[in-house]
Structure 1
Amino acid sequence: MKAVRVTEFGPPEVLRVEEVADPVPSAGQVLVDVDVAGVGYGDVIVRSGRYPFPTPYVPGLEAGGTIRAVGPGADPALVGRRVVAATLGMTGGYASLALAEAANTFEVPADLPLEHAVAVFQAGAVAFGLVAAIDVRPGESVLVTAAAGRIGSLLVQRAKAAGAGLVVGAVGGAEKAGIVGEFGADVAVDHSAPDWVAQVRRATGGRGTDVTLDAIGGDIGARALEATAGGGRFGLYGFTSGTWVPLDAHQIGRRGITVVGALGIAFAKSAAEQRADAEAALKAAVAGELVPRIHDTFPLDQAAAAHAAVESRSTVGAVLLTP
């Protein structure tokens, strides 16, 4: 089969398509004929060498397609089902065939496009988990950074569904600021503007947001902390800038801000709870309550171009591969 392999960390060009042996499902596993694979920023972080990971490996922790075969102990009735799956060991999705634990597959409703299912089942589950972890309450104001990203765009929608009274989407660039309203953001701010924190404060009557969820970290994350109201809650869920938010203990203590490791809380849930979040995300997608945006779809042999697009932060929504 064809697969993208990484033998050394580096720029997108280290992603190379090779012919490799077909994987064989072991006990409790399934083999998926991959039609669509998700490309996340986490893939970029690992490929660039910013997260310890053994090489060589095949990237890709999300795959969608049809189950071709099952291993011992897995239900034979799964064969032929159209599913999305979290890949075995969080690798292997950038390939013609991928392995997954049977318990980590989710049947795709007939009226949901496979591309949408791949874009929403994991990212949407994270959005559900983050909103619950930070405890968004009806009427509260919420600031979401990277609001045009795959998770951010779903997080905006989920915050509104949880009853947020005002959602502010912070994005990089005027073009993205013009789009983020499509996801339900009441206010869009361009975090490249020097006065964007002041814009957030004006939108909230000078107070700042009750809740902030930051995926960027670094200087932008630090400014997002400034934009959080005294007594508010600041949730961490990423560091796309390359560094986590530099937390100022004096500022946090003086202003009475609660810092929440929101992503860690979401990932610390039991397997059953995380599965329930993914199922809820798929159900919300079917109902039109969680609508993923597909920025672009690349063929497998253009995986490097897909990574370059994600890494450039020029994308809005999800980027996918088609083996």
Structure 2
Amino acid sequence: MRAVQVTEFGGPEVLRPVELPDPEPGEGQVLIEVDRAGINYADTHQAENSYLASAKLPLVPGGEVVGRTPGGRRVVALLNGGGYAEKAVADEATVFAVPDGVDDVTALSFVVQGATAWLLLRKSVRLEPGESVVVHAAAGGVGTIAVQLAKAWGAGRVIATASSPEKRALALELGADVAVDSKAPDMTAALREANNGRRVDVVLDMTGGSVTDQSIAALAPFGRLAFYGMASRQPPKPVEPAILLGHSFTIAGMWLPHAFSLPGNVYGKALAELFELAIAGKIAVVAGGEYGLSEVRAAHEALRSRSTVGKLVLNPRRLPGV
């Protein structure tokens, strides 16, 4: 089969299309003929071995696919790598049927990014009706869904940040009440201004660095910031417990795999609700572009430069330029 393989850690230049043997499913696993694979920002970290879970070489990146099982079932699945390929294997516990009326891009957008947005709002910050919500990187895969979920679940004011006028316009189209330039020199002041001079209740942050620092400074008493990524590759400053006590802030972290350790099939419930919202036309997934195996390097370059919007996908049968 054709696949993308990494044999040395690094940037987009280490992603190389190759021919590899077909994967063999083990006990409790499912073989999937891949129609499309998701391309996520986390994949750029995996390629350089800077992700939360350390990687081993050689590796085929890709943690999510949509396709068909040997029996013809259409499924979407989470993987422990191997998605950038014509075939992949997944544990049965992380394989989910795709309902009629849900297209490939929507299914892939929900299995990681949609579930992340759902968990951030439901579990990490426990959004309450009427609260203000800041969504950083609002034109990205998680951000576009988080904006819509926050509005659907009764947020009083949704404040989106994005790096270009086009991205900010997209966030407004998706339901944000106001959009802020993510390059604002004083993010604390910009967020308070966007919230009519008041401090904000909730921040969803995957940027890191000074954006996180200034977002924490913008929180209202009992405000919550959920940290789920570090796109800037710059860590925020440590937060002293006395700061949390003095301002009644809550800082949460969220890594999607931990959802599978929760009782009550929380991840499955999140995915089912997202599918229902999509079928009902209450959430629109933004397609960010489709790439072939030989074009994955360009996709990672675009992700790292933060020039993308919505959900990027890999079509392993797409020919260059088609």
Q: TM-score, normalised by structure 2?
A: 0.91
Q: Among the aligned pairs, what percent are the same residue? A: 41
Q: By how many angstroms is 1:67 displaced?
A: 0.9
Gaps of 5+ in 1: 69-78
1:286 to 262, 279, 282: 279
Q: Does 1:181 align with 2:183?
A: no
5 Å matches for 1:153-168? Answer: 153-168=144-159
RMSD between aligned alpha carbons? 1.8
Number of aligned pairs?
311
2:61 aligns to what? Answer: 59
CA distance in 2, matches of 1:244, 1:212: 17
Q: Does 1:21 align with 2:12?
A: no
The answer as to whether partners of 2:138 and 2:162 remain within 8 angstroms in 1 is yes
More moved, 133-142 vs 288-297: 288-297
Q: By how many angstroms is 1:2 displaced?
A: 0.6
The answer as to whether partners of 2:186 and 2:214 remain within 8 angstroms in 1 is no
More moved, 275-284 vs 37-46: 275-284
CA change 1:145–1:14 in 2 (3 A) is same
The answer as to whether partners of 1:130 and 1:266 remain within 8 angstroms in 2 is no
5 Å matches for 1:18-97? Answer: 18-51=18-51, 52-68=54-70, 79-87=71-79, 90-97=80-87
SS in 2 for 1:163: coil
SS in 2 for 1:229: strand
Q: By how many angstroms is 1:5 displaced?
A: 0.6
CA distance in 1, matches of 2:268, 2:235: 28
The answer as to whether partners of 1:126 and 1:266 remain within 8 angstroms in 2 is no
CA distance in 1, matches of 2:226, 2:217: 13
The answer as to whether partners of 2:137 and 2:160 remain within 8 angstroms in 1 is yes
1:100 aligns to what? Answer: 90
SS in 1 for 2:265: helix
1:258 aligns to what? Answer: 250
Gaps of 5+ in 2: 317-322
CA distance in 2, matches of 1:262, 1:234: 11
Deviations 1:253-297 (A, max 9, x none): 332212222447756534822122122222222222222111110
CA distance in 2, matches of 1:267, 1:139: 30
CA distance in 2, matches of 1:211, 1:170: 13
SS in 2 for 1:306: helix
Match for 1:63: what amino acid?
A: V
2:109 aligns to what? Answer: 119
Deviations 1:175-216 (A, max 9, x none): 322221122111100121224432321232322111111111
Q: By how many angstroms is 1:314 displaced?
A: 0.3
1:240 aligns to what? Answer: 231
CA distance in 1, matches of 2:73, 2:194: 48
CA distance in 1, matches of 2:266, 2:163: 33
1:269 aligns to what? Answer: 262
Q: Does 1:321 align with 2:314?
A: yes
Q: By how many angstroms is 1:91 displaced?
A: 0.5
2:133 to 135, 142, 145: 142
CA distance in 2, matches of 1:160, 1:254: 30
CA distance in 2, matches of 1:103, 1:268: 12
Match for 2:33: what amino acid?
A: D
CA change 1:80–1:6 in 2 (3 A) is same
